[in-house]
Amino acid sequence: MATLTLKRKLAILSDAAKYDASCASSGSSKRDSMGGKGMGSTDGGMGICHAYAPDGRCISLLKILLTNFCVYDCAYCVNRVSSNTPRARFSVEEVVDLTLGFYRRNYIEGLFLSSGIIRSADYTMESMVRVARTLRETHDFRGYIHLKVIPEASPTLVEQAGLYADRVSINIELPKDDSLAALAPEKDATGIKKAMGAVRVSEEASKEKGRKARPPKFAPAGQSTQMIVGADDATDGAILKRSEGLYGAYRLRRVYYSAFSPIPDSTARLPLARPPLIREHRLYQADWLMRFYGFDRAEIIGETEDLDLTVDPKMAWALRNRGEFPMDVNVADRERLLRVPGRGVRAVDRILDVRRFKRLELADVKRLSRGIEKLKPFLVCADWSPGALTDSAGLPERVRPKQLELF
């Protein structure tokens, strides 16, 4: 077999990593090299865009696989052992050199490293840990590192991954356990959950107060996971119910949703077409409502239902619960204001700040929010009341977007 150049390996293994959506850089402890020691920072900087932090910062990460060789035969994965795809493998030293070289050129702020399974889970995980350990201990790299943990790896290796990485992630893969058993027979849903539980225990132990000898920080940016959407028959309600359980049981920082992408030579058990991207978008919006807006999953959608693709989940809830509106912006508390369609957390907080000094009029709300026309049926201001508009039969059509075909 011909020897691949480093450039060719990078082309293959960066392209293979694009299917993993759980790539973000946020929530870690702040580190920098301003004192003249080490290299890198987890705070600030711009570069090639791979992800966005919650505060809107553009995050640049070198996102690659250690290898796309894999002994598993997951039907939905382009890198499965039976797939006819170009293969490549980095050495530990090559990943380290690429990370440092790209950082010195101001291309990246950190590393996102995943891998196919070669030889065994432990063999692969040990190589990934060695990359992170070499960067941290040999080169004093202080930038961001995200490691994709292999659930079947030994607890010792998972523990080491969390000691060197800012964030670790373990993919739950599919919303339903029976779908995982059918489409990825080498993977075990129970084992995945057990590994996620072990990460949570290590996280909590590193934060425990009152101990004389606290353990070192473990994955300060927490853990995340990813679910493939549209590869099986799971409804949006079932997907969000699984997410709700994961957030509660394992204190995940985030669940990522990735629309299934058909791959060559796949099994007939998989759909021939990918789901509409707007479905993935709506799932993210619903997830956001659960995490930041105080909604319970059952308020957003039933377990057997799908989200309305024509309108965002908060607007859909408002249309189903018109008895909650109109809401007086000068009286309602923060929790209730967050339920008004079209208002984000920042807009609500600005409204609460301003109304301490004056009674808000419609023009004030317009200045503090993005747009006003779709908000008007749901709110009362000092100079505005929607009257019968809130209960009008034509309200759903009034608030639906007009260019859905763009998605």
Give me the residue spans of the domains in the chain: 6-221, 315-406
Transcribe 97-117 into DSSP letters: HHHHHHHHTTS-SEEEEE---
**DSSP secondary structure letter of residue 134:** I
66 and 127 Cβ atoms separated by less than 8 Å: yes
CA separation for the pair 59, 259 (Å, rounded): 22
Structure tokens at 161: 């991954």
Fold of 6-221: TIM Barrel (3.20.20)
**Tens digit of each residue's pLDDT, the chain (407 residues):** 567 899 999 999 988 888 877 655 444 444 444 454 554 444 433 223 345 554 555 568 899 999 999 999 999 998 999 888 899 999 999 999 999 999 999 888 899 999 999 999 999 999 999 999 999 999 999 999 999 999 999 999 999 999 999 999 999 999 999 999 999 999 999 999 999 999 999 988 887 766 655 667 899 999 999 999 999 999 999 999 999 999 999 999 999 999 998 877 777 788 888 899 999 999 999 999 999 999 999 999 999 999 999 999 999 999 999 999 999 999 999 999 999 998 889 999 999 999 999 999 999 999 888 778 888 999 999 999 999 999 999 999 888 876 544 44
Coarse DSSP helix, strand, coil percentages of the chain, rounded to the nearest 5 percent: 40, 10, 50
Structure tokens at 124: 């692969």
Helix (H) or strand (E) holding 229: strand 223-229
What pTM value is reported for the model? Answer: 0.86
pLDDT of residue 151: 93
72 and 79 Cβ atoms separated by less than 8 Å: no
Taken as a whole, the chain contains a residue count of 407
pLDDT of residue 282: 96
**Residues β-bridged to residue 331:** none
Q: What is the 3-state secondary structure (H, E, C) of 330-387?
A: CCCCHHHHCCCCCCCHHHHHHHHHHCCCCCCCHHHHHHHCCCCCCCHHHEEECCECCH
User: What amino acid is encoded at 322 in this protein?
Assistant: R
CA separation for the pair 307, 320 (Å, rounded): 13
CB-count burial class (<10 Å; 0-12, 13-18, 19+) for 103: buried
pLDDT of residue 407: 41
Chain segment 45-74, per-residue pLDDT in tens: 322 334 555 455 556 889 999 999 999 999
Nearest 5°: phi and psi at 149? -80, 140
pLDDT of residue 18: 82
CA separation for the pair 228, 397 (Å, rounded): 31
User: What amino acid is encoded at 385 in this protein?
Assistant: S
pLDDT of residue 207: 79
280 and 271 Cβ atoms separated by less than 8 Å: no
Of 114, 99, 121, nearest to 64 by C-alpha is 114
